[in-house]
Amino acid sequence: MKTIFDSGVREKLIQRIKLLSHNHKPLWGKMNIYQMLIHNTYWNGWMLGNDEHTYKQEFLGKIFGKIALKRMVKDEKPFDKNIPTSDQFKAKELHGDLEAEKEKWISLINEYENYNNPNFVHDFFGKMTKEQIGILVYKHTDHHLRQFNV
């Protein structure tokens, strides 16, 4: 199972991120390339615990979260195309410095080498093991790179 905690997997993801350019258009979804980058830098900062984030599981997550998480991390199957994005992760900005956001995302990907965020609680899935986090982060990153055909 691919995980963000594997250095080879991280390096391959970084190489794919470096390929992104203004010419890339989404194959699905509503985000443009810049919004996708902003979404990922914010989301990874949240996962890593880099900023002041409030970790709280939503009510529906308390009911369905563990079942959904098990389905998402049980095998190599990529995420479905149009999975909904929580409002807190939707980027409002339409344009900005693409290269700076790519570098920020790459830096965050590298931080998983020393991952330590024991307070993390996913807003839908709830408390997760490190193994589940590694698989989820890989699949989330792969999902958005596939969204832009890289």
The model's pLDDT over 89-120, given as tens digits with 9 standing for 90+, comes to 888 888 899 999 999 999 999 999 999 999 89
**Strand, helix or coil for residue 74:** coil
Q: How far apart are CA 118 and CA 32, in angstroms?
A: 33
pLDDT digits (tens, 9 = 90+) for 32-91: 999 999 999 999 999 999 877 778 888 888 999 999 999 999 999 999 887 878 777 888
Domain ranges of the chain: 7-147
**Strand, helix or coil for residue 92:** coil
Q: Under a CB-based contact definition with an 8 Å cutoff, are residues 54 and 47 in contact? A: no
